[in-house]
Structure formats: C-alpha cells, structure tokens
Amino acid sequence: MSSYAQKQGVGAFLWDYLTTVDHKKIAHLYFIAGALFFVIGGLEAMMIRIQLMEPNNDFVSAGLFNEIITMHGTTMIFLAATPLLFAFMNAIVPLQIGARDVAFPFINSLGFWLFLFGGIFLNLSWFLGGAPDAGWTSYASLSLESPGHGIDFYTLGLQISGFGTLMSGINFLVTIINMRAPGMTYMRMPLFTWTTFVASTLIVFAFTPLAVGLFFLTFDRLFGANFFDVAGGGNTIIYEHIFWIFGHPEVYILILPAFGIFSEIFSTFSRKRLFGYSSMVFATVLIGFFGFMVWAHHMFTTGLGPIANAIFAVATMAIAVPTGIKIFNWLFTMWGGSVKFTTPMLYAVAFIPSFVMGGVTGVMQAVAPLDYQLHDSYFIVAHFHYVIVGGVVLALLAGTHFYWPKMFGTMLNEKLGKVTFWLFLIGFHLTFFIQHFLGLMGMPRRVFTFLPNQGWEAANLISTIGAFLMAVAVIILVINVIVTVVKNERVGNDPWEDGRTLEWAIASPPPYYNFKQTPLVRGLDPYWIEKMEGKKNLTPAEPLGDIHMPNSSFTPFMISLGLFIAAFGAMYQYDMKNDDVFANPGAIVVFIVGLVITFGSMMFRSVKDDHGYHIHKEELIDDLDKGGKA
C-alpha cells in the first residue's frame, strides 16, 4: 500500500474502525465505549438513589439492589473511568512526545477489543440469570456463596478486560521511554505524559495481582479449588489483600492522569508555564510509589493488629504530602497568570476544593480507631465519591471539552458546556456532601432501604435530588455533542489560542501520520517556545522523507472474540446445583471453539509477514503544497 485512500460508505467506515491500529482512532473507540458504559453506570446510580429516596421504598428488591450497587461500582471503575482516560492517553500522549504512533499499534488495538468484549460479557449478566451481587470488590466470603453465574460473569469478564488494560499499560510505558522526539528529555515531558507514564507503571504492577486474585476466585467457583474457601483450608482474608494491592493503586491509576489533564488546563488558561514543574514530577512519582504502601487501610476492621494498622495509618497520612505539593503548585500557576475561565478551566478550578475535601476525609480515615466507627457507614461512600467524582469525573468532563477539538476537529459549545458544569457541580455536592452527615448519623452503606423516624429522610431526599441534577447535566452534555457533530464547524490546530505543547502545533484532527517531520524539542512547552519566536511551524529534527506506517488488522478483534466465546464455555460447563464440574459437554465444546479462534488468530498473526507500508515523500510534499503544516 503506497498511498492512503480515504474509504467511503458506512460499511467501509465501520470496517476501518474494526481493523484500525491508529492510536487516534483507537482513542475514538475508547471514548465512545467508555461514554456508553458511563451512561450505563449512571443509570445504575440513579436506580440506587431512587430506591433510597424515601424510607421503606420498594422500587427495587433487596437482591436486585445488591446487583445494582455491584454493577455500578464495577462499571464506573473498570469500564467507564479507566477507558475514558485511555481515550485521552491514546489521543494525546503520542502527539505530546512527537511520536507517529504508540510503540505497539497492534497490541494497542488488541487492548481495546479485549476491554470491550470483557465489558460486554460482564453486562450480559443482566440478561442471563442475574448480575454479580457481592459488591464491586467481590470479597471471596460473599462471592463464593453467591448462587447463579453472576460472580462468574464478574471474574471472567474482568479477566478479559484486565488483560487489555495490562497490555495498554505496557504499551504506553514503552512508547514514552523509547519514542520521544529528539530533545524531549524526561524533564521536558508535559505533565499529562508524566502522569500517564507513572499510571502505566502502576497498571503493570497492580493489574497483575488482580488477575491472580480473579484467577483463583474463578477456580474456586468453577473447578472446586480451595484458595479462599475456609472449609477447604483456604483463607478469605488473602483475597482482600490481593484485591486491595490492586484496588488502592487503581485509585492512583485513575487520579494521576486526571492530575495530568488539570495540569495542562491550568497552564494553558493561565498562559503560564506550570509552577514548580520539577516538584510536580517528583510528587507524581512519589504518589505512585506510596500508592502501593497503603492497601491495608481498607482492612483496618479485619483484625490485622495494632502494629500493622499503625504502619498503614502513617503511610496513608504521608501520601497527602505530595498531593498537597500539587495543589499549591496549581494555585501558584494561576497566581499572576492571565486566567481565562473557559469551560475546562471552570472544571479545573472547581476540582481543587472538591478533591481537597475528598483528600481530607481520607486522612481522617487513616486514623484507625476513627475508621472503625466510619468504615461501614455512608461517610465512606461520601469520601470515595469526592475523590473519584470530584477528581476523576471532573477531569474527564474537563478533558472532553479541552481535547474535543484536537480529537475531532470541532468545538463543543461553550455556553452549553458551562450549563453542564454548574448543574453537575451543584448536583455532585448536593448528592455527596450530605452523605458525610448520614454516615456520622449511623446510616450503614450497602443497605437497600431504611426505616422512618431515624433522621435520615431529608438527607437521602436531598442526595437523590442532587443525583438528578447530575443526570440532567450529562443529558445536556450529550445534546452539546450531538449539536456539535451535526454543525461540524471545523477549527484550526490551536483552537484555544494558548496551546503550549506539541499536539497543538498540528492540524485538528491530526493527520494519520501525526508529524510530517519529527519535531525538535528545544525546551519545556515546545510549541509555546516556537510561537514566542514568531514561527508558524515546529523546528524539524529531520529532513522530509518517507514515513513507515503499520497496516490495519482484523486479528485483534478475532483474538478478543475467541476469549469472549471461550468464557461462556468455561462458565456453563459447571452444574452448580449438583456440584458437577464437567456436567455440560456442549459448554466444553464452546470453550474449545473459543480457544481455537483465539490461538488460531494468534498463530495467523505470528506467521503472517506484515511489514506495513510507506507514505512516500512526494505525497507529503503535495500535502505541504496544499497548505498542510509540518
């Protein structure tokens, strides 16, 4: 293939996305899939709040409520927040470091399809006998006793999806280490790239224990193993350790890229270099390191003993220090800057007090005796939603407005964006601030209803009204997206006019090869440096020449589809009523067929001699003649 032919028609368009290995199109896929799961998780959250709107409500049954809270947490963490962050990582990081793609384009595609098929498998549980019902953590003591196949959907779906996330983490690590443009030293990398780098490191070390824990749990349920079954000599507390060795770093896998997005926004709309860049990098690495030192603060009530509790309490308090460094640096970035209150900047400014509130209640819970009192109350629900919604979700909404023009070449409506912001922010604080007091008044979490005259009615009603406000905000955002897509008003390479990093130097959306010539990076904020010197284009690090590109491939889709099919076979081979491990020969056949598809596709990939293709220099010169930019 010597030239890039733009395909036409719906079928060709879909085939293009099914087979793409282009990081920008994979970003679109992550964005659409993550947004869809975000809406599903949001609907589950609305059902929770409607059920708790008044005492003795019977909107849903107790069993269905357990399924809803389990799927809400699982969906939001694994299938919405993580992939939406991967959407921004895919769209922006290769551009920020001056690369033409990620290190392993094929694995990038495979990572997405594994995530998607795992997420679809998990959500099919709603239609095939019931969803998982043991909470998003799926503690072994509960999940081993859960009837039906809900927990099996959880363990198998998250393993498939988690493999995809693990591959993506490795991919971004290698990309950032090996594919930076000349002059892009580590201490010249934008903060979003730095936070992606540290988060990818955390993924490699955190998703591995999750895979092990889910693997053990799968074998306990489907093959009669005894890793966590106390009656068979197992230990359920080991599952808690394994889960939280993943679970706490997962918080930082989510929040660090969110910090990176906000760092880019603060710097851009303050028209200033980020204050204390070196200390921000140091704080990012330190947070990543401490993230693995604090997992047992989720287990203060399991009886680890005073020494273990004290060690993890101190470590938990220590992690507040690098986070505080970041907060002050963002404030000092705005101080003395020429601040523009665009929609992304409003989210960034609102994030600081919202996230600090979540952080402060986290330090409170680091005190083990206090955590004993608060652990199973709504205070905890309020705390982690202030961290995840007040940190990660605000960053996702800010990033959507900030990077939309770079990803899609159009601009979301600023007025509608600000309406979304105010409704969401007010709704968020209405929903969760009052839950701190519900917790202090003794309302337990995970209860599907409550009795009247306990003093909880008004607070629960206010919380539900806030949730409806957030839902309206999301609907307005969807309307904003639809209007923007229909209008299709194209924007230039630097639509915010104050872009500082390399991604703002090329067209919006970027060409499929990103940069005609690899740029030369001459300092921090390289595009800002070029603009201040009056240059329209980046300084090239190489002469114009042929560009090597990878071919599209349908194989990642087929590998993922095979595992999706095999998971059904693995699950249904076990007769739970009669405790018969290999009771269903048909399911075993399905399992084998799925593995044949997966391993056959892998074999096909290994023997196929695919060297990609070249974009010839002449085509690039033609593009330049037509007014393209380097």
Per-residue pLDDT tens digits for 96-126: 999 999 999 999 999 999 999 999 999 999 9
CA dist., res. 399 & res. 265, Å (int) = 8
Q: What is the pLDDT of residues 465-515, one digit of tens each?
A: 999 999 999 999 999 999 999 999 999 899 998 999 999 999 999 998 999
What tokens were used for 86?
């991967």
Give yes or no for residue 22 having a pLDDT over 60.
yes
Q: What is the pLDDT of residues 350-373, one digit of tens each?
A: 999 999 999 999 999 999 899 999
DSSP E strands, 386-464: none
> What is the predicted pLDDT for the residue at 324?
93
Give yes or no for residue 62 having a pLDDT over 60.
yes
> Contact, 297 vs 313, CB < 8 A?
yes
Determine what percent of the chain falls in helix, strand and coil, rounding each to the nearest 5.
70, 0, 30
Q: What is the pLDDT of residues 291-331, one digit of tens each?
A: 999 999 999 988 888 999 999 999 999 999 999 999 999 99
User: Domain extents for the chain?
Assistant: 10-553+610-626
Give yes or no for residue 627 having a pLDDT over 50.
no
> Contact, 140 vs 235, CB < 8 A?
no
Q: Calculate what percentage of the chain has a pLDDT beyond 90.
A: 79
How many other C-beta atoms are found inside a 10 Å radius of the C-beta of residue 48? 19
pLDDT (mean) for 374-381: 93
Residue 528 vs residue 629, higher pLDDT: 528
CA dist., res. 181 & res. 465, Å (int) = 50
Total number of residues shown for the chain: 630
Give yes or no for residue 153 having a pLDDT over 90.
yes
Give yes or no for residue 91 having a pLDDT over 70.
yes
To the nearest whole number, what is the mean pLDDT of the chain? 92
Check whether domain 10-553+610-626 has CATH 3.40.50.2300, yes or no: no
Instruction: Please give the helix or strand (H or E) that residue 531 lies within, else none.
Output: helix 526-532
Give yes or no for residue 1 having a pLDDT over 50.
no
**Distances, alpha carbon 374 to alpha carbons 312, 389, 436, 441, in Å:** 17, 20, 10, 10
> What is the predicted pLDDT for the residue at 545?
87
CA dist., res. 574 & res. 74, Å (int) = 24
> Contact, 275 vs 329, CB < 8 A?
yes
What tokens were used for 107?
């694995």
What tokens were used for 605?
């990939």
**Distances, alpha carbon 266 to alpha carbons 385, 504, 599, 620, in Å:** 23, 16, 47, 35
pTM of the full structure: 0.94
Task: Residue 209: name the closest of 166, 148, 269, 152 by CA.
Answer: 166
